[in-house]
Amino acid sequence: IYPSHVTQQNPQTMGWDPLQIAVDEAHKQNVELHAWVWVFAVGNTRHNRLLDLPDSYPGPILSTRPDLMSAALRGPGGELVLPGQFEYWLSPASRKARQFLTTLFSEVVQNYDVDGLQLDYIRYPFQKPGHYVGYEHVSRTRYSAETGMSDYVGTSGFQAWQAWKAFQVTTFVKELSAHLRQIKPDLKLSAAVFPMHRHKRMQMIQQDWETWVRKGWVETLNPMAYSNSAHSLVGLVDYVHQVGGDKVLVYPGLSLLKLNAVELVDKMEMIRDKGLLGTALFAYAHFGPDTQYLVQSGPYLEKNVISPHRKPLLASRQLTKEVLAMVNNLLKAKDQDTNYEVLYEIQHKLVAVDEALNALSKPSLSRTDAHYYLEVARNDALGIERLMESWRQATEADSVEAYRANYLNDNVAKMVRMVNYATYKQQLEFDRQGLSMQPALPNSPSPTSTNPPPPTAVPKVSVLLKP
């Protein structure tokens, strides 16, 4: 959509630069702008029809770069578009194609003050038996040279072939992440991914986002949970949530086209109840006035909130303070059915987590202090989660108490997940600085002692005293 030195600008945006205007206007409103890019899909027959172009037009990249036509992805008969599909693709196995895409995306990051890059179509096209892709010359020759195998789709070599194709996509994510962060170290990389279970996903689209998360190449995942079914949505979100662990923030994608305004808000609240910290809405063209009103009145009522992926420590402190306020209100209510002993323990640990997060945000920490505060935040957050489960179970007999307990439990889950992510990111930063020692994984078991050795200066803790 922007004037590019690497490829053609969209004819519909000739004469102006909508990307620059979008960046400027977003930042005026204190809104982040993440550039959404199609990666390996580089042409679309449905888009052609908007421009009165034939379906045979392969898009601006393949039509103007004959040298890249050899890098185009092909089916078993040499076709460029699979039956029933609409996209033209570059082969993830082509180093020439990957270099071109790296140059194109680097242009965006270098020339525009974007806050992040969202990778879409970061996969192979959907395939089914008899309609697999990867038959272009570059894939055949590289696969044979690197594996010594040539039975691409036979019983003996099929799984190896699919795994090799997934590795090509993963290698590009690794290379692109490293390259773009050299240009802009604070760039946030995200990926629109399919939340289907791994085996099915590897067979159909060769998208190994688990590895991208484990290696820290992406900050956020946007699983495309475009389902009308509440049960299906919860299952998809739970799967990505559990597999992603604490190394990534998950913002599920919801379809504005498939959901009416009430259904959309209901599903956004369901996602919040799962302890997740955001949603992605696709797409703005379907964002009608009714939807806008309900979203602004409900899930997005608060303005100027803290970005979890941009300021994870600050976001963790905010959520910790919110949970602490809820606990304090329960303690002040003096409800005879409330288990005060457990709530006081939760309160004490919440204050300790908040103090530790505050200390971690300070500059010039010593190695000992850095390690100490990371352990306090992690272990006490884990302790809060365990205590919360105990308190929630104790209130199940009373429906009113159970409702309050579940509400508090949802907020605790959100807070703990944010703390785990924030300390993971801070651990990486300390490792980069050479500060931390004996790195511990998020959600690691608490040490035998109550806390690690005290730091140079132990934080002062303030709690409500028991009556």
CATH, residue 145 = 3.20.20.80
In a domain, 269, yes or no: no
- CB atoms inside a 10 Å sphere around CB 339: 18
In a domain, 281, yes or no: no
In a domain, 147, yes or no: yes
At residue 461, the pLDDT reads: 33
In a domain, 256, yes or no: no
In a domain, 243, yes or no: no
At residue 228, the pLDDT reads: 82
Confidence (pTM)? 0.86
In a domain, 445, yes or no: no
- What is the amino acid identity at position 261? A
CATH number of domain containing 369: 1.20.1440.60
At residue 397, the pLDDT reads: 57
- Look at the chain and report how many structural domains it folds into: 2
CA 6 to CA 352: how far, in whole Å?
52
In a domain, 264, yes or no: no
At residue 376, the pLDDT reads: 95
At residue 153, the pLDDT reads: 59
Q: What DSSP line would sit under 114-177, residue for residue?
A: -SEEEEES-SPPP--TT-----SHHHHHHHHHHHS---SSSTTTHHHHHHHHHHHHHHHHHHHH
Q: Does 199 share its domain with 332?
A: no
Q: What is the dihedral of CA 366, 367, 368, 371, to 10 degrees?
A: 120
Q: Does 214 share its domain with 316?
A: no
Nearest residue to 343 (alpha-carbon basis) of 463, 204, 167:
463
Last residue of a domain, one of 218, 237, 257: 218
Q: Does 214 share its domain with 333?
A: no
Q: Which residues of the chain have pLDDT under 50?
A: 438-467
Nearest residue to 7 (alpha-carbon basis) of 113, 100, 116:
100
Question: In which domain, by residue range, is 407 found?
Answer: 312-433
Last residue of a domain, one of 195, 218, 241: 218
Last residue of a domain, one of 218, 233, 265: 218
Contact in structure between 73 and 91 (CB atoms under 8 Å) = yes
In a domain, 122, yes or no: yes
At residue 20, the pLDDT reads: 97
Q: What is the dihedral of CA 437, 443, 448, 452, to 10 degrees?
A: 40
